[in-house]
């Protein structure tokens, strides 16, 4: 782990803000287990030192962002899998329409949480980046609504979107 937090108290607020900003950028490059280790060490070495609180809060915030992101991905995967079962339920019995509607609403909310316009943290899983990029440009509406896209470029974009969604669902199921 190459991130080094300052070992001296910084009394200059501007310098402290600058150092916290640099540390925040460096934290984004660490894996979650590295963040956990850094937090543990920072807390252990700075017991009773109030000046360490901004650094501890910075690490905890980065960990919170990562955990929230993982939760969103897992919820998307679970909602997608539940919605996939809708066709089977409806074939078995039309009385499952209400349950299917609830599942589709859950998927709609999970998809909305993965909005490409959302301010995302710096470090994202490749599967999520691929999904966000593919979701942002799925081709023209005529091709998207058609079972047989007319434009080759749209067909490629639609195929990329389905592949990216499948990869994101697989990642969510692994994280679960």
Q: Which of 47-51, 90-94, 141-145, 167-171 has the lowest mean pLDDT?
A: 90-94
Say how many domains are in the chain: 1
Dist. CA 90–CA 47, nearest whole Å: 59
| Structural domain span for residue 146 | 125-176
* Residue 144 forms part of a structural domain: yes
For the segment 69-121, what is each residue's pLDDT rounded down to a tens digit? 999 999 999 999 998 888 777 767 777 788 888 888 999 999 999 887 777 77
* Residue 68 forms part of a structural domain: no
* Residue 138 forms part of a structural domain: yes
Q: Answer yes or no: are the C-beta atoms of 99 and 69 closer than 8 Å.
A: no
Q: Answer yes or no: are the C-beta atoms of 99 and 136 closer than 8 Å.
A: no
Prediction pTM value: 0.76
Dist. CA 45–CA 147, nearest whole Å: 61
Dist. CA 41–CA 102, nearest whole Å: 45
* Residue 160 forms part of a structural domain: yes
Using pLDDT thresholds of 50, 70 and 90, give the confidence band for residue 3.
Answer: low
């Amino acid at each position: 782990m190459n991130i080094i937090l300052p070992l001296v108290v910084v009394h200059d607020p501007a310098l402290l803000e600058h150092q916290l900003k640099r540390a925040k950028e460096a934290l984004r490059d660490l894996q979650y287990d590295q963040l956990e280790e850094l937090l543990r060490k920072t807390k252990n070495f700075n017991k009773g030192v109030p000046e360490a609180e901004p650094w501890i809060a910075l690490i905890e915030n980065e960990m919170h962002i990562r955990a929230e992101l993982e939760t969103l991905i897992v919820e998307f995967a679970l909602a997608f899998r539940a919605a996939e079962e809708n066709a089977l339920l409806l074939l078995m019995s039309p009385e499952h329409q209400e349950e299917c509607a609830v599942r589709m609403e859950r998927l709609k909310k999970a998809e909305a949480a993965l909005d490409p316009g959302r301010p995302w943290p710096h470090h994202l899983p490749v599967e999520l980046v691929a999904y966000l990029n593919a979701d942002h440009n799925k081709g023209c509406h005529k091709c998207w609504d058609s079972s047989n896209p007319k434009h080759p470029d749209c067909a490629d974009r639609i195929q990329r979107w389905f592949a990216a969604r499948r990869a994101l669902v697989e990642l969510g199921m692994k994280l679960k």
